[in-house]
């Protein structure tokens, strides 16, 4: 599949298979990630593919057994946002690859839009595979760029990702221990980036970026769940329990990654006293459509804890609705509350499974932290 970003082509891989006489399944591949799409309709020479988690879809015409043309519509970006696509059968790699891919394996200190008001820092992590391909991602202080796949060919680095929300393309020229490149996000954003090999480079501590606002020692909120029932952090069902509060949006791929992990720890620790609440800030201006999207989100990810509707997705709205948080800068943000109702940790952003060892380290750290809080007694915690 090739998405036309307006002068640049973003390729990614997918397979289309018949699940039964009347059902088709699409699998989108990004490195180790496989996204199964079952909402596929083929009739005559028309095809539609609706993504399972994000409000986007492909509408195309089947030209022959090797070519489909059409447009990808991302409804969350507005009614007029769409990109042309062309799907070609049989392509083995999304980019040319070469045996020199190992030259960029490792960790890179990265700076996007350096010297501008939009500047931010990142860590580029790249891994060469045995076939000459390349996978990796970029870690920023608000999350990661998920599963990127591509290669290095004649000193030109290319990586891309498509997951139904993100349409990312990275290009760079390798010059010794430096990469000088450009990043495209759909057709609406592009920026320069530079990177140097630096295995020791670190970003700021994710537990230090968002804090409890001065004058608050606890959190307090009340929002409707997907069935319209008002849920408060002060409800009896949460009293004396360890509580994780996730600030998120169903449109946010990093939030999807974190939600999968939260459901995993909820299943593991709920009987021992763990509760989780998600507060969603949605891009759909119509509340009814936003709630329907949250219901699909809960079903698709098999979420068993409450998902509440906080309002429109903007940091200003979220900050106003959650006044106890200072410098709320990322979806997701996760607040950890002990059995006595006191905030013990606030985690900004999320490094998902596409970050490899960084994700594994956080999972281990999370288990240790939750075990410690769950082993505490409310009375003992209150006296600290």
Peptide bond into 332 cis (omega under 30): yes
Q: What is the DSSP letter of 225?
A: B
pTM: 0.93
For the chain, 384 residues long, the average pLDDT of each consecutive 10-residue run is 94 91 91 94 95 94 94 90 93 77 90 96 91 90 96 91 95 94 95 97 96 91 97 96 97 96 98 98 92 95 98 92 95 97 96 95 97 85 48
3-state secondary structure 30-50: ECCEEEEECEEEEECCEEEEE
Phi, psi for residue 322 in degrees, rounded to 5: -125, 65
First-residue to last-residue Cα distance in the chain: 57
Helix pair angle (287-301, 253-269), 10° resolution: 50
d(CA 340, CA 335): 14
Nearest 5°: CA angle at 260, between 167 and 220? 105
* Contact present, 261 and 255 (Cβ < 8 Å): no
Q: What does 111-155 look like in DSSP terms, one character per residue?
A: EESTTSTT-EEEEEEEEE-TTSEEEEEEEETTEE---EEEEEETT
d(CA 309, CA 346): 20
* Contact present, 212 and 344 (Cβ < 8 Å): no
Looking at residue 337, its pLDDT comes to 97
Place of tokens 């028309």: 46
Looking at residue 328, its pLDDT comes to 95
Looking at residue 383, its pLDDT comes to 46
What structural domains and CATH numbers belong to the chain? 2-88 (no CATH), 99-197 (2.40.128.120), 211-382 (3.40.30.10)
Looking at residue 129, its pLDDT comes to 79
d(CA 193, CA 168): 14
* Contact present, 195 and 182 (Cβ < 8 Å): no
Distances (CA, A) of 125 to 140, 148, 197, 239: 11, 10, 10, 42
Looking at residue 68, its pLDDT comes to 96
Looking at residue 128, its pLDDT comes to 87
Looking at residue 294, its pLDDT comes to 96
Looking at residue 79, its pLDDT comes to 82
d(CA 47, CA 24): 10
Q: What is the DSSP letter of 79?
A: T
């Amino acid at each position: 599949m090739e998405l036309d970003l307006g002068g640049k082509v973003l390729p990614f891989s997918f397979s289309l298979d018949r699940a039964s006489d009347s059902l088709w399944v699409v699998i989108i591949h990004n490195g180790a990630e496989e996204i199964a799409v079952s909402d596929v309709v083929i009739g005559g020479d028309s095809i539609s593919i609706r993504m399972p988690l994000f409000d986007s879809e492909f509408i195309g015409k089947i030209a022959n057994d090797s070519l489909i043309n059409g447009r990808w519509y991302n409804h969350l970006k507005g009614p007029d946002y769409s990109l042309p696509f062309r799907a070609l059968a049989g392509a083995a790699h999304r980019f040319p690859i070469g045996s020199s891919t190992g030259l960029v394996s490792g960790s890179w200190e990265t700076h996007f839009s350096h010297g501008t008001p939009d500047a931010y820092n990142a860590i580029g992590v790249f891994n060469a595979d045995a076939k000459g391909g390349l996978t990796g991602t970029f870690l920023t202080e608000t999350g990661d760029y998920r599963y990127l796949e591509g290669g290095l060919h004649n000193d030109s680095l290319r990586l891309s990702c498509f997951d139904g929300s993100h349409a990312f393309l990275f290009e760079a020229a390798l010059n010794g221990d430096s990469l000088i490149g450009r990043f495209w996000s759909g057709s609406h954003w592009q920026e320069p980036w530079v990177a140097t090999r630096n295995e020791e480079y670190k970003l700021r501590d994710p537990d230090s970026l968002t804090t409890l606002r001065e004058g608050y020692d606890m959190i307090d909120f009340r929002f409707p769940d997907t069935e319209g029932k008002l849920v408060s952090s002060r409800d009896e069902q949460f009293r004396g329990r360890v509580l994780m509060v996730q600030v998120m949006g169903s449109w946010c791929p990093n939030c999807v990654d974190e939600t999968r992990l939260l459901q995993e720890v909820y299943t593991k620790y709920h009987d021992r006293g763990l509760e989780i609440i998600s507060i969603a800030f949605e891009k759909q201006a119509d509340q009814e459509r936003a709630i329907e999207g949250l219901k699909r989100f809960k079903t698709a990810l098999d979420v068993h804890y409450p998902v509440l509707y906080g309002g429109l997705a903007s940091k200003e709205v979220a900050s106003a609705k959650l006044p106890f948080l200072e410098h709320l800068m990322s979806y997701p943000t996760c607040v950890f509350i002990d059995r006595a109702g006191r905030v013990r940790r606030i985690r900004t952003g999320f490094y998902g499974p596409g970050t490899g060892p960084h994700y594994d380290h956080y999972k281990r750290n999370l288990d240790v932290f939750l075990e410690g809080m769950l082993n505490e007694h409310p009375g003992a915690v209150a006296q600290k």
